[in-house]
Amino acid sequence: MDIYQCDFFLRAMAAGALCGVMCPLVGVFVVARRFAFLADALGHVSLTGVAVGLVLGIAPGIPAMAVVLAAAFAAEWLRQKERFYAEAFLAVVMAGGLALGVILISKSRGFGADLAGYLFGSLLTVTVQDLYLILGLAAGGVLVILFLYRSLFALALDEEYARSAGFPVPAVNAAFMVVAAAVVAMAIRAVGVLLAGALVVVPVLIAVRVNRSFRGVTVTAALTGAVLVIGGLHLSYALDLPPGPAVVLLGIAVLAGAALVQQAMQFKSDGSKPYLGGQEVARAGGSGHPADQAVTRGDLRP
């Protein structure tokens, strides 16, 4: 049977591609701000929302988004107040959310099959309504990110400078958190609460290895995310694997491959590090700036 004639597979590919694009779009700014753990934490915390939805008999996506949004604002507050321990506190929030979700589910019976889908994703069961919802969230998310792109970039690069230059940092952060919550809710469908963080972060880590510009990383990460989800779906079909974990493992394999290729290329070019240090400039004699050239030649050495 041709898999492309199956509606469920086509819907899964469409929903997966949208999730694959959106997760890294948020991930780029999260990773650049050195807060990648946030994505993982929000994914885990969303289990509480999923549990509330299952217990109340409503679509879990909505309570999951609400819980993730609250957790995202709490995480941002922690980041501002507890600069040095923010990640440690985030681990506490993550564990708390996960524990609460498990307790809620354990007190309610009969959700076993559903729960597995939420824990590890259930792309193959995406309905037409789900697809429309994901499409709407993705369109809204892309618009907000495009609108805020310059401000988000300035914040990711140097938040103190952005504040001093008059960027509306609290408003931009709040809007970003709303998008992040929506994206994590989408990722639950694709790869599940336990693996959502990976879909946010892994495509960004791949893109970072092959780009010099922030814009390049953003575009590459979004495309990579889509390709990984679609590739993972095919892998899942071909090898009879669960789709969510297949997507994540494919991503990690590509990341490892990219790292190996990069290492090999660096080894080939005299062991220098083209993107990750100052050697690239030094090798090229800097900017051509006389001072740079002098430094490279060692003229200014005492």
The one among 4, 107, 129, 164 contacting another protein by CB under 8 A:
164
Separation between Cα atoms, residue 99 and residue 118, nearest integer Å = 15
Binding-residue total with another protein (CB under 8 A): 48
The one among 140, 167, 175, 262 contacting another protein by CB under 8 A:
167
CB of 211 to another protein, least distance (A): 5
Burial tier of 200 (Cβ tally within 10 Å: 0-12, 13-18, 19+): buried
| Amino acid letter for position 235 | L
Work out whether 276 is an interface residue with another protein (CB under 8 A): yes
Work out whether 39 is an interface residue with another protein (CB under 8 A): no
Work out whether 153 is an interface residue with another protein (CB under 8 A): yes
Separation between Cα atoms, residue 188 and residue 20, nearest integer Å = 12
Separation between Cα atoms, residue 143 and residue 157, nearest integer Å = 21
Nearest to 101 by CA among 140, 43, 15: 43
Spacing of C-alpha 132 from chain mean position: 21
Work out whether 258 is an interface residue with another protein (CB under 8 A): no
Work out whether 162 is an interface residue with another protein (CB under 8 A): yes
CB of 85 to another protein, least distance (A): 17
Work out whether 158 is an interface residue with another protein (CB under 8 A): yes
Work out whether 165 is an interface residue with another protein (CB under 8 A): yes
Burial tier of 113 (Cβ tally within 10 Å: 0-12, 13-18, 19+): exposed
Positions that interact with another protein (CB under 8 A): 31-32, 34, 147, 150-151, 153-154, 156-158, 160-168, 208, 211-217, 274-282, 286-292, 294-295, 299-300
